[in-house]
Amino acid sequence: MVVLRWVSRLFDDRYAWLRLSLLALSGVGYLLFRPVADGPYAPVDWTFATAALALCPLGVRWPFPTALAAALVFAAAGWLGQAEPIVPQVGATWAALELTLRAPMRQVAVGAGALLVGYLVDSLDELPSGLPTWLYGVTVVVGVPLLVGLNVRASHRLARQAEQRVAVEAQAARAGERAAIARELHDLVAHHVASMVLRVGVARHVLSGTDPRVAEVFDDLHSSGSTALADLRRLVAVLRNPALAGDGTGYVPIEPGALPEALAEAVHRAVKGGLAVEATIDPEVATLDTVRGLAVLRLTQEGLANVARHAGPAARARVCVRMHDGNVHWEVSDDGGGRGEDTGPRRGGDEGAARRGSRRAETGPAVVEGGHGLIGMRERVELLGGRLVAGPDGPGWRLRTVLPAGAGR
């Protein structure tokens, strides 16, 4: 099996230049070091040998014309030459092999016929008395390259079929995984989100005369839940039918050019949740491609959610998104929830340590009960060629990264 695999690789199309270059070098070596018993070459023999060597590199791009020309040189050398046309014969035989490896079968048949005619012209003086020897020579000169070429060709076809079968099986496995994820999203996440939206709607109706601030919270919850439910449904549709992602009718969370407004909406929701947010958003982010734009939006949403979760609603957050030479410089930081040196526990105290540990738990794959926010952010950034840096910043915490230009294109 190892030998067959090595031979199959040797006759790969990528190595055609190497094969024909070695053939030409072996022909030159034969002409320089051939046995003296063969006698000296006449000028006509040198002419045909040189022509056969010159045809070798042409077989890389034009195997059919080269095979016909090599057979013609072989026939002419046998008819007009003074010595045995070894070099033209080997060149014509190898040209037939290259033709069998890479050309349509009709051209292979024509090339084999031309080689057979060339061998017949070269050995006319041996017939009919030397018919058995002639038949053996035909088998070696014409039959062997055809058999070897057809066998290698069949091996390559089987290898391609095996690769296609593996690709189809892998695609089917991915489709099964997407279908399973879609079912879970629909049956579990979407179900619960729909239930929450329904309950909030009922609460809005039952408590219609309550405090306006409570009504505002209900309205915000209902709006957020409805938006999340719509996004989940579009995502499930794309998971069920990935073709929707390619024609633009599927899951498109953010339209190109709408990123500044989407970022402003994310900041507004964080402010409504009680955070004090200072946002600096470069208007040029509207020129980002869809992939990087979605990454910036999701990083900002997760970063602000982390601030609210770990630093508390009393924290002050800062969001900075700017463009420089096509690169996206993104940063979200917080002040630790107002726990300065005089107002609360220090960063090195139990509360600060607990918060650092909670955040760092998200980056440790061995901690099952930890969240996956930072892990997902890091994976999203690395897919676009960047590196997420997360760590303490005084009493607070800072996340920052740079998404390279064109990473999502």
Tens digits of pLDDT across the chain (409 residues): 555 555 556 677 777 777 778 888 888 888 877 755 556 678 888 899 999 998 888 888 899 999 999 999 999 998 888 778 888 999 999 999 889 988 899 999 999 999 999 998 888 877 777 788 888 888 888 999 899 888 888 888 888 899 999 988 888 888 788 778 777 777 767 777 777 877 788 787 777 777 787 777 778 788 878 877 777 777 777 777 766 555 444 455 667 688 899 899 889 888 887 789 999 999 999 988 888 888 899 899 889 988 888 887 778 999 999 999 889 999 999 988 755 433 333 333 334 444 444 444 444 333 333 456 788 889 889 988 999 999 998 889 999 999 998 655 4
Please tell me the distance from the alpha carbon of residue 93 to that of residue 24, in angstroms, as a whole number: 13
Question: What crossing angle do the helices spanning 144-184 and 212-240 adopt, rounded to 10°?
Answer: 160
The answer to whether the Cα torsion of 108, 109, 112, 117 is positive or negative is negative
pTM of the model: 0.48
Q: Which residue ranges does the chain devote to CATH 3.30.565.10? A: 256-409
Please tell me the distance from the alpha carbon of residue 238 to that of residue 246, in angstroms, as a whole number: 10
pLDDT at 387: 92
Domain 256-409: CATH superfamily is Histidine kinase-like ATPase, C-terminal domain (3.30.565.10)
pLDDT at 333: 93
pLDDT at 128: 79
Please tell me the distance from the alpha carbon of residue 282 to that of residue 327, in angstroms, as a whole number: 12
Q: Write down how long the chain is.
A: 409
* Strand order, beta sheet including 276-281: 276-281, 316-324, 327-334, 396-403, 389-393
Buried b (16+ CB within 10 A) or exposed e, 60-84: beebbbbbbbbbbbbbbbbeebebe
In 3D, which of 144, 137, 76, 68 has the Cα closest to residue 103? 68
Please tell me the distance from the alpha carbon of residue 24 to that of residue 26, in angstroms, as a whole number: 5
